[in-house]
Structure 1
Amino acid sequence: MKLHIVVLASGGGSNLQAIIDACATGDIEAKVVGVATDNPSAFAIQRATKHHIDTAVVAPLDNEARTSFDSRLAQTISPWRPDLVVLAGFMRKLSVSFIQHFPNSIINLHPALPGQLPGINAIERAYGEFVAGNRSSSGVMVHYVPDEGIDTGPVIASMPVVFKEHDTLHDFEQRMHATEHQLLISAIRTIISQRQKVTTP
């Protein structure tokens, strides 16, 4: 039985593409059953459509409370019956009103190591510290999202990315994104393996 994945993305969706490709090659026993975004112009939607994956745009309303948006988002993706919800470049902090719908089933990809650089623009912030002589490496992690903490949930996998002497921001970003793709697939594979052990008599 393949793991049914719903991906939430706000931008280009390169990590979504990595999941789609891994599903297609059999690298992971999974299927992307839906992609949702808060950004109507997100390229992730085009990636999903190209592969005949259901999509939904849940745009925030004017002056809408976060809990209201999150409830609408949960109601939108629930019919897809996800086994796993993957936050892959989804730029909104989710509240309990969303998380409670998918207990122990939400994971987030964050471009920093555990306990470092929580929040947005982690790649740029890490590079800025490198240029200032205050950082020699950063990394990527995938973690569960059990609550409203920012990049603080139980870590599934992490991988360091070391700066090179003459790195530009673009150079570093490219290595970070390649690591993101690799680590995300590895983390999903780990989750599938763990769930199979639980369900196997």
Structure 2
Amino acid sequence: MHPEQAEPARIVVLISGSGSNFQAIAEACKSKEIDGEIIGVISNRPGVMGLDRAKQLDIPCSVVDHTEYSSREEFDGKLIHEIEQYGPDLVVLAGFMRILTPDFVRRFKGRLLNIHPSLLPKYKGLHTHKRAMEAGDKEHGVTVHFVSEDLDGGPNIIQAVVPILDDDSEASLKTRVQQQEHVIYPIAVKWFVEGRITMIKGDAYFDSEALPETGLQLNVN
């Protein structure tokens, strides 16, 4: 993707739940903050709120129900087929709760983004807010990264660093982190469609400069 490209970038979003990050990106596209268009939303679970959001926004949506497939490989094969119907420039994982096969990741390598609620490489996997608090960390946050074949791996693009307050509960920390998800994910998508971020030989680059392991950091008071 390059700024001189006349057509808006074609974006497909994969969801498993409420779709709040999908909506944040959709709103940024609608306001022209992102020179892109979400052309399809795919959920691996039927009946989730994210599908309702897509319908309200008149964005085509479909379900590839993982429970109907006998293996991860079979499910991912169907998912690849469904995505490629749209011919996307970018595939965005927005709360998509499936571990993807290496074949899937290779198919969309360099144009596959994910968001994870921790300061990666810390706390890969689930229950990140609880784990950060139990470890006595003073800060937590959220990371947008390119997807590699490692779970919650791939080079980091941008992180929002959120302080853990003395009176925080797991719920209050989660809420504040989610607020930052809706800030940094549209930023990362904007950078991608403008050609400012790229993945080269497993590393992330911003304006042709290699990014640090953390990616760019946004500190939140």
TM-score using structure 2 length: 0.82
The residue identity in structure 1 corresponding to 2:102 is V
Deviation at 1:156, TM superposition (A): 1.1
The residue identity in structure 1 corresponding to 2:36 is A
Q: Secondary structure at the match of 2:78?
A: helix
Aligned to 1:175: 176
1:141 counterpart = 2:143: yes
Aligned CA-pair RMSD: 1.8
| C-alpha distance after superposition, 1:2-44 (max 9, x if no partner) | 1111111101010011011111111111111111011102111
In 1, distance between residues paired with 2:134 and 2:63?
Answer: 34
In 1, distance between residues paired with 2:15 and 2:129?
Answer: 17
Distance 1:63 1:84, change over 3 A: closer
Moved more, 120-129 or 101-110: 120-129
Q: Secondary structure at the match of 1:100?
A: helix
1:78 counterpart = 2:88: no
Aligned to 1:21: 27
Which of 112, 115, 119 aligns to 2:121? It is 115
Task: Give ranges in structure 2 of 5+ residues lacking alignment.
Answer: 1-6, 198-206, 209-221
Q: Secondary structure at the match of 2:91?
A: strand
| C-alpha distance after superposition, 1:142-170 (max 9, x if no partner) | 111132x0111011111211111211223
Does the 8 A contact of 2:10 with 2:90 survive in 1? yes
**Could you say which structure has the higher helix fraction?**
1
The residue identity in structure 1 corresponding to 2:147 is V
Deviation at 1:127, TM superposition (A): 3.5
1:24-173 correspondence runs (5 A): 24-61=30-67, 64-129=70-135, 134-147=136-149, 149-173=150-174
Superposed structure 1 runs of 4+ greater than 6 Å apart? none
In 1, distance between residues paired with 2:184 and 2:196?
Answer: 18
| C-alpha distance after superposition, 1:53-108 (max 9, x if no partner) | 11110012456111110010110111111111111100001012222322211010
In 2, distance between residues paired with 1:18 and 1:63?
Answer: 31
Deviation at 1:195, TM superposition (A): 5.6
In 1, distance between residues paired with 2:41 and 2:170?
Answer: 29
Task: Give ranges in structure 1 of 5+ residues lacking alignment.
Answer: none
**Could you say which structure has the higher strand fraction?**
2
| Percent sequence identity over aligned pairs | 34
The residue identity in structure 2 corresponding to 1:60 is H
The residue identity in structure 1 corresponding to 2:96 is F
Does the 8 A contact of 2:69 with 2:75 survive in 1? no
How many residues were matched structurally? 193
